[in-house]
Homo-oligomer: A and B are copies of this chain.
Amino acid sequence: MKKLTPAVLKQRSECIRNFYTERGRMPSFSEIGGLVGLSSKSSVFKLIERLEKEQSLSRDVNGRLLPGPMSHPLRVLGSVEAGFPSPAEEELADTLSLDDLMVKNRQATFLLKVSGDSMSGVGIMPGDMVIIDRSLSPKSGDIVVAEVDGAWTMKRLKKSGENIVLVAANPNYKPIRPKNELKIAGVVTGVVRKYQ
């Protein structure tokens, strides 16, 4: 048999990962055999042993398979101006999942697409999606989604004593002082934007 190249190993690892993202669970050894083209479970067993050593796979406390170190890993590197990392540095870097990073309380969280440029001054552009947490109590300085006098807007909340003002981050918009009621739907905890 030919040598098992890293390329082949990676391809097989991706087969397994694809199964996980598509089906929401890890495949069994027999299923992995079918995915990568191995008719013996023991061959799969050896494959898994390898992938474990390479950290592209891990196991539960109970010995069950898990995708990657945990959850959906994304490499996090340094800052742009600090220089670009070498492959060696990458291996040391932390990994995380966007979901875990951005969402604390999944039950109370949802996404909202932004239209209008009232917050473009702080980098929230039309077309962006904002992550909103309903469970947080809004503090002064937070960006909130609120219903003021019948209309829904996204603005920055400013409290000074009893005085409450909603301020846009664009000088073209005037601060709003709610006359009657102010219903705050949630606090903006993050922004995501997708190019292409």
Contact = CB atoms under 8 A, between A and B. Distances in A.
Contact of A116 (B75, B80, B124): B80
Interface residues of A, number: 72
B84 A145 contact: yes
A194 B190 contact: yes
18 contacts: A24-B67, A24-B71, A25-B66, A74-B103, A79-B113, A80-B112, A80-B116, A80-B130, A80-B145, A80-B153, A84-B147, A84-B152, A90-B110, A93-B110, A102-B192, A123-B124, A189-B195, A189-B196
Interface of A: 10, 14, 17, 21, 23-26, 60, 64, 66-67, 70-84, 90, 93, 97-103, 106-107, 109-116, 120, 122-125, 128-131, 142-143, 145, 147, 152-154, 185, 188-196
Given A21-B106, A74-B111, A189-B194, 20 more contacts: A10-B107, A14-B107, A24-B71, A25-B26, A25-B66, A74-B110, A74-B131, A75-B109, A76-B110, A76-B112, A76-B113, A79-B113, A80-B153, A81-B115, A84-B147, A98-B98, A99-B99, A102-B194, A120-B123, A189-B196
